[in-house]
Amino acid sequence: MSSLPCPHCGGASPLASWLDRADAKLAPAASLRAQCPRCDAETHLALRSGEAAVGSLSPAPAMFRPERRAQIAGLEVRERFDHIAIALETRRWR
């Protein structure tokens, strides 16, 4: 199951729902700004092929602090300088 729990409300949402609420433009520390599909809390996502984490950014220097992680089968991620291209099963985000 490709779901990721929210560090704020604890509710798990499918990664595709998180990505629908994320900005594909890269935020500091190669993360993406996103909102929890359930509680609207602002979070950051970090994605690697096969793996996703939700967490927050530390103050300067900006570092991504993962709070929850999940193995996501079929997740493909490519960094494109200023944004990220994501493929998950049949869907794509960029």
The answer to whether 8 contacts Zn ion (rule: CB under 5 A) is yes
Is residue 28 within 8 A of residue 82, CB to CB? The reply is no
Of residues 16 through 55, those in contact with Zn ion by CB under 5 A are: 36, 38-39, 41
The answer to whether 6 contacts Zn ion (rule: CB under 5 A) is yes
Which of 37, 93 has the CB closer to Zn ion? 37
DSSP 8-state assignment for residue 15: H
Which of 32, 36 has the CB closer to Zn ion? 36
Is residue 46 within 8 A of residue 31, CB to CB? The reply is yes
Which of 35, 83 has the CB closer to Zn ion? 35
Q: What's the CA gap between 5 and 7, in Å, rounded?
A: 6
Q: In the complex, which residues of this chain contact Zn ion (CB under 5 A)?
A: 6, 8-9, 36, 38-39, 41
